Amino acid sequence: EVQLVQSGAEVKKPGDSLKISCKGSGYSFTNYWIGWVRQMPGKGLEWMGIIYPGDSETRYSPSFQGQVTISADKSISTAYMQWSSLKASDTAIYYCARQGSSDWGWNYWGQGTLVTVSS
């Protein structure tokens, strides 16, 4: 069974750094794109970027380029989203997702990680 399990909720202060994770299991982690999606409170979904763990090719959506860092450690089947200096506006739920095996839909999703940034 394919599963994406994300790290737990975080409460941080503005200026803090943070790295959240998404662990894949039940499939060959290196062979599928992983994407990250932001959902701010009461708002819609936003693509942040995608990574191919096989060679770590990473693509960022323009709004998020330079704001976050996406990475992956294929030895432990885990993808990461990282901030160097959080802002209050980074408060959101962050989802990871995996692309399908025979189509371009994102058919497996993590449970989401709530990040709260508040002084």
Partner 1 sequence: QSALTQPASVSGSPGQSITISCTGTSSDVGGYKYVSWYQQHPGKAPKLMISDVSNRPSGVSNRFSGSKSGNTASLTISGLQAEDEADYYCSSYTSSSTYVFGTGTKVTVL
Instruction: Tell which one of 16, 47, 54, 69 touches partner 1 (CB under 8 A).
Output: 47
41 touching partner 1, by CB under 8 A: no
φ, ψ (nearest 5 deg) of residue 30: -75, -10
Both structure tokens of 100: 């399908």
Number of residues located near partner 1, criterion CB under 8 A: 24
23 touching partner 1, by CB under 8 A: no
Q: Measuring CA to CA, which residue among 6, 17, 11 is closest to residue 91? A: 11
Q: Measuring CA to CA, which residue among 48, 92, 56 is closest to residue 72? A: 56
53 touching partner 1, by CB under 8 A: no
Footprint on this chain of partner 1 (rule: CB under 8 A): 35, 37, 44-47, 49-50, 59-62, 95, 97, 100, 103-107, 109-112
